[in-house]
Amino acid sequence: MQLAVWTYEGPPHVGAMRVATAMDGVHYVLHAPQGDTYADLLFTMIERRDRRPPVTYTTFQARDLGKDTAALLQDAIREAAVRFAPQALLVGASCTAELIQDDPAGLAEALDLPCPVIPLELPSYQRKENWGAAETFYRMVRQLADPAVRPAPREGRRPLANLLGPCALGFRHRDDVVEVVKLLDSMGIGVNCVAPLGAAPADLRTLGRADFNVVLYPEIGMEAARWLARTFGQPMIDVVPIGMGATRDFIQAVAALAGVDPAPALANPTTRLPWWSRSVDSTYLTGKRVFIFGDATHAIAAARIARDELGFTVCGLGCYNREFAREMRAAAADHGLDPLITDDHLAVEAAIHAAAPELVLGTQMERHIAKRMGLPCAVISAPVHVQDFPARHSPQMGFEGANVIFDTWVHPLVMGLEEHLLAMFRDDFEFSDAAGPSHLHAQPAPAQVAVAPAPTIVAQADIPWTSDAERELRKVPFFVRGKARTNTERYAALEGRVQIDIATLYDAKAHYAR
């Protein structure tokens, strides 16, 4: 057993739901107990979908267990096939139904339905959401893609690509697809099929018409792409175009594969990240320590952007999906780091504390960890909450994605000039944090809101501060005061000091100075 409060990923049948919901003309009959329908609200609330996910649950109860849950499943399949008339039907079991061992595949086959039935085996006690999505998509492609459909002769037509991996409940998948389609179009490359997002089973039949596959999200699309490469001989592009450098690499790789000129795509006039990053206001970003955690694809891409495009120092890097541990280890080695591969948020919290970053890039969980530690943070990966399914266009991929990323990551940091001014005038009576926000000037200063260095997680040795040192510490701007306190106490413990005076404070500052 494993003790869990937060989970980065849901069970694998939620991955299957994400594929079914992403597609048109698919219905999923899930053998599951009453209560498992909770997963519907991920789609209707977080992604704000305007229709129910195409999922029918058997919702069996205890009184059904002694009787015939198999018949219940068959009834549900039969009714769903009539009511929804899908082009393809997925059948499978959730964790509880896996234990009662009805056979969804056999039971569905016995019904002799007028549409293809794709049985899913998703081991709930070993695997998780991303794996479930990848497996479901792979099974569908394998069963539905028509091997007789091949690319037309190249003369007189644009090269064609499939985009594999975008899905329901995917972090910015909607807008990434728009960006990548635009990018390919600027190279004269057409898109044959985007799948699973927006594809129907009939579209999957014609996957073979494309000249190559682009795997946008390896977590979901790689299994299917590998099978297509083996079976159809379709080559794949697995460079994920998140960030300037990666987008350029992507363009070069696609151009080479498709035999087109990359120059028009590379000369993108809407690219702002390189100049924004070179402008003097960004100088203060240099060497900022950043901790990165998320799914492997987004975390690895973020690390490259952080180091090469924003000039940060990556002080921690990890992912929660073990399936991509190898890729993560290679990326971490490139940054001279030990990778953190865990799905235990407490381990992530401890690692963030130990790394003492100035910015955290992560998921919804890291956002809350950072909040408690008083650290700035931006979200780069699922799991995310409703605010990260925005109404506005907000891709992560391509050149516009790089623009979005620059803004998103820099906003939580105090802007350079502002930081300079705060330091310069920190003793000014009107500027001290005790004076309260300036727009409430007429109001009496609110009671001191301690920007707490959060409940100290790793207990520091209990070394007393002199009152002079405490006063001096208060002169440190509030947003780094917590860190200054922690560093000083850690340094004092390291040096075996019996009390912390002003000298200790500045010794520590010198010790930890970059």
Partner 1 sequence: MSGETGLAPAIAPTDTGCADAPVLRERGQRAVFCGLTGIVWLHRKMQDAFFLVVGSRTCAHLLQSAAGVMIFAEPRFATAIIEERDLAGMADCHDELDRIVAQLLARRPEIRTLFLVGSCPSEVIKLDLGKAAQRLDRTLGTDRGAGVGTRVLHYSGSGIETTFTEGEDACLAALVPHMPAASAGAAPALLVVGTLPDVVEDQFRRLFGELGIGNVGWLPARQLADLPAVGAHTRFLLAQPFLGETVGALQNRGARHLPALFPFGAEGTTEWLRAAADAFGVCPMQFNRVAAPGRERAKRAIAHSQDRLRGKRITFLPDSQLEVPLARFLATELGMVPVEVGTPYLHRELMARELPLLPSATRISEGQHLDRQLDRVRADRPDLTVCGLGLANPLEAEGLSTKWAIELVFSPIHGFDQAGDLADLFARPLRRRDVLRV
Contact residues for partner 1, defined by CB under 8 A: 1-7, 9-11, 13-14, 33-45, 48-53, 56-62, 64-65, 76, 79, 83, 94-96, 99-100, 123-126, 128, 365, 368, 385
Nearest residue to 317 via CA among 326, 325, 331: 331
Which one is catalytic: 68, 75, 185, 281?
281
Contact 178, 232 (CB under 8 A): no
Amino acid at 270: T
Which residues have a Cβ under 8 Å from the Cβ of 366 and sit 6 or more positions away? Answer: 291, 293, 294, 348, 352, 360, 377, 379
Contact 242, 301 (CB under 8 A): yes
By beta-carbon proximity to partner 1, the closer residue of 59 and 271 is 59
Which residues have a Cβ under 8 Å from the Cβ of 201 and sit 6 or more positions away? Answer: 23, 25, 26, 86, 87, 88, 116, 140, 144
CB of 159 to partner 1, least distance (A): 38
By beta-carbon proximity to partner 1, the closer residue of 128 and 172 is 128
By beta-carbon proximity to partner 1, the closer residue of 50 and 112 is 50
CB of 129 to partner 1, least distance (A): 8
CA dist 37 and 41 (Å) reads: 8
By beta-carbon proximity to partner 1, the closer residue of 249 and 343 is 343
CB of 33 to partner 1, least distance (A): 4
Contact 149, 205 (CB under 8 A): yes
CA dist 89 and 405 (Å) reads: 38
- What is the residue-wise DSSP string for 435-455? G--GGGTTSPPPPP------S
By beta-carbon proximity to partner 1, the closer residue of 122 and 402 is 122
By beta-carbon proximity to partner 1, the closer residue of 4 and 449 is 4
Residue with tokens 């990326």: 331
- What is the residue-wise DSSP string for 357-376? -SEEEE-HHHHHHHHHHT--
- The two tokens of residue 148 are 């007789």
CB of 10 to partner 1, least distance (A): 4
CB of 464 to partner 1, least distance (A): 26
CA dist 505 and 514 (Å) reads: 16
By beta-carbon proximity to partner 1, the closer residue of 42 and 300 is 42
Residue with tokens 């009184």: 63
Torsion of CA 403, 409, 414, 416, to 10 degrees: -50
CB of 112 to partner 1, least distance (A): 22
Contact 48, 223 (CB under 8 A): no
Which residues have a Cβ under 8 Å from the Cβ of 427 and sit 6 or more positions away? Answer: 475
By beta-carbon proximity to partner 1, the closer residue of 37 and 271 is 37
Cβ count near 60 (within 10 Å): 22
**Would you call 281 a catalytic residue per the annotation?**
yes
CB of 493 to partner 1, least distance (A): 24
- The two tokens of residue 343 are 């799905």
Q: Which active-site residues does the annotation give?
A: 281
